[in-house]
Amino acid sequence: MLTSRLKRWFAPPVFEGDLKRTHRANILNIIIISSILLVLPVFFANFLDRQTPIRNFFIDIIFIAGSLYLRHNLHCGRITFVAFSTLFFGFISVILTIISDGTIRTPATSIFLLWVVMATVFFELRGFIFSTIATSLAVIGLILAQQAGMMPAPVYTVSLIQWFVLTLTAGITGGLTYVAYQTTQKALTRAEQEIAKREQVEQELRKLTRAVEQSPVSIVITNLEGLIEYVNPRFVQDSGYSSAEVLGKNPRILKTDLTPPETHHQLWKTITAGKEWRGEFVNRRKDGSLYDESATISAITDLHGVVTHYLAVKEDITERKRIEQSLQEIRSRLHLLSDNLETAALYVYSHDVQGQPHFEYLSAGMEKLTGIKVEDGLRDAANLHALILPEYRPRLIELEIRSKGDLESFEIEVRQRHAMTGEIHWALLRSTPRRRPDGSTVWYGVQMDITARKRSEQLLEAANEDLRRYVKEIEHLQAELREQSLHDPLTGLHNRRYLNETLGREMIQAERENLPVSIILADIDHFKKINDTYGHQAGDIVLIEIACLIKEHARGSDIICRYGGEEFLLVLLNTMPDAAAKRADEIRQRAAALRIHHEQETIMVTISFGLATYPDHGTNAEELIIKADHALYQSKHAGRNRVTIWQGE
């Protein structure tokens, strides 16, 4: 019980989520406890030296009480107060102890070394410089005071107490230095790991965001009540609803009576059981048209496995359904064709000694396909050849001649004209050669009517072509929508969405490479007066002219966006405050000299600017924008038409 209480008392405070404060609190805790442990043995050791004045005991008691008070404030989270107070209180205590001893040669002087180490650990270079100067001034002051006889009579004697104090001071100083070094190394290692992990997470997040935004399928995220919280651009394209129109709404706005009620019932039963549901809907777009949609819906859980949202991945399958229906019709027709194979025309074909072709056998199906009676076809093969359209005859004859020597089977498609009706149809000719004992060649073949199949293939090819064109149009529209979503439609400049996507990334890059980033916030003076005097159309012309003026003074690496209303924001990468202010003043002078003509009126404008720079004025984008806005307010308050660099509140 006593051991656990002592551990709790000696343990430093921990601030969840704030590693830097926890580290500083840990060092402060060690220093305060070490100081108490240093003073307590000295306090009791002074009893052995009868020359020790009573005032030394009072100083030690006050020091211990003050240390306990500061440790209480440390556990209350007052880190900065405790750090300053510890240094100040320790500095005064050392000086008072030296004065009480009446000599600068007292062991208390060595504690100045510990004090310098503490100041350096807390406040780095500034602490080191300040503590060194303060210690030097204190020591020279005490020496001069001792030489001038302004200090009490010395009561210091050489004994083991001095050895003990000096040894303890050196040990604590070295220990603090070691702890500070170890803490710094751990912090640097952890920071490097966190930076690498954050960069990896950011990279994965960018990939995921781009994949979701550019996904060819609709993505919808709802809360547990089924209300929509997010839709991607493909959903907007498929449904016709904008994001603003569906956020906070239930997906039933797409519902139609063509989807069976059992489908929705089974959907909720499945996902509330923690399982993945797959199925199809018939939905209605905003314009009232219907479309088929396949969907996969599943639950999204937090780190503890608790369901927080539902995710729906949906695909418009209207065109696929139509193609599947067409393919089914083609299959049915091909099946019908195979079932009626007995109606196909079978033939045996050869050449006489003069090389003239003739049919040795024709089936009854030939008359149906060509309109020529079997006996006529056997008498005159030319009657059948005449039915093949002219553009196909050379190919057929070439195949016949080549095949006489090579004995290769062939299969060709030809268009034929019916001898009796004159109707044009497609026929498939398959032929295989056989060598006779006398050296002549005979061809065995079959001819089938494939008109229906060819029409279906043409329909399918047309559908595929329409689908390819449709996909290309969608990709083009997606690119256009993406570009439009990142630009202001009036001025053509980037908008806030583009700024939010890029500025954070640029700030991280600037921090990594230790480069400055300047942010300029510009506001057209008295813009409301321009709108009220000349009309909003004139106001739009002014905005366009100012946007063009700013673009003329921009570098390729600069980010320019319309921040809102008559405000413009410029991000100047690798630009110090003075250079950024010079750029802003050039724009200001050009704007003041600008004459904008509208309906026989001449409009003159001025612009006020506010400027803030990383890392001089802030460490993140949000802080820089706020300080640039404050600087802009100072420009407005000081009379407008000027450039102000943020200098503090």
pLDDT in tens, 538-584: 999 999 999 999 999 888 889 999 998 899 999 999 999 999 999 99
Least confident of 12-21, 159-168, 479-488, 568-577: 159-168
Tokens 């600037």 — which residue? 510
| Distance between CA atoms of residues 623 and 63, nearest Å | 41
Q: Strands of 441-449's sheet, edge to edge?
A: 357-362, 345-351, 441-449, 424-435, 410-417
Least confident of 85-94, 139-148, 325-334, 541-550: 325-334
Question: CB of 232 within 8 A of CB of 219?
Answer: yes
Per-residue confidence band for 357, with pLDDT thresholds at 50, 70 and 90: low
Q: How far is CA 410 from the centre of its chain?
A: 59
Considering the chain, what percentage of its residues have pLDDT values greater than 90?
17
CB contact set of 217 (below 8 Å; sequence gap of 6+): 234, 313, 314, 315
Residue scoring higher pLDDT (351 or 641): 641
Q: What is the mean pLDDT of the chain?
A: 79
Q: How far is CA 328 from the centre of its chain?
A: 44
State the pLDDT at residue 306: 84
Question: CB of 493 within 8 A of CB of 568?
Answer: yes
Backbone angles phi, psi at 519, to 5 degrees: -120, 125
Residue scoring higher pLDDT (556 or 34): 556
| Distance between CA atoms of residues 395 and 487, nearest Å | 59
Domains and CATH numbers, the chain: 9-189 (no CATH), 218-316 (3.30.450.20), 337-456 (3.30.450.20), 496-645 (3.30.70.270)
How many CB atoms are closer than 10 A to CB 123?
16
Indicate the DSSP class of residue 344.
S
| Residue 508 identity | I
Q: How far is CA 477 from the centre of its chain?
A: 22
| Distance between CA atoms of residues 626 and 632, nearest Å | 10
Kindly tell me if the per-residue pLDDT of 297 is higher than 50. yes
Q: How far is CA 336 from the centre of its chain?
A: 56
Q: What residues pair up with 618 in beta bridges, in sequence order?
A: none
Can you say whether the dihedral through the CA atoms of 256, 262, 265, 269 is positive or negative? Answer: negative
| Residue 612 identity | A
Per-residue confidence band for 401, with pLDDT thresholds at 50, 70 and 90: very low
How many CB atoms are closer than 10 A to CB 234?
21
Considering the chain, what percentage of its residues have pLDDT values greater than 70?
78
State the pLDDT at residue 336: 44
State the pLDDT at residue 385: 62
Overall average pLDDT of the 29-41 stretch: 74
What is 77-114 written as a DSSP string?
A: T-HHHHHHHHHHHHHHHHHHHHHHHTSTTSGGGGHHHH
| Distance between CA atoms of residues 604 and 598, nearest Å | 11
Tokens 């839709």 — which residue? 231
Kindly tell me if the per-residue pLDDT of 338 is higher than 50. no
| Distance between CA atoms of residues 374 and 365, nearest Å | 9
State the pLDDT at residue 438: 61
Per-residue confidence band for 615, with pLDDT thresholds at 50, 70 and 90: very high
| Residue 254 identity | L
State the pLDDT at residue 326: 62
State the pLDDT at residue 567: 94
Q: Enter the tokens of residue 539.
A: 């106001």
How many CB atoms are closer than 10 A to CB 491?
21
State the pLDDT at residue 403: 46
Kindly tell me if the per-residue pLDDT of 334 is higher than 50. no
Kindly tell me if the per-residue pLDDT of 523 is higher than 90. yes
Kindly tell me if the per-residue pLDDT of 174 is higher than 70. no
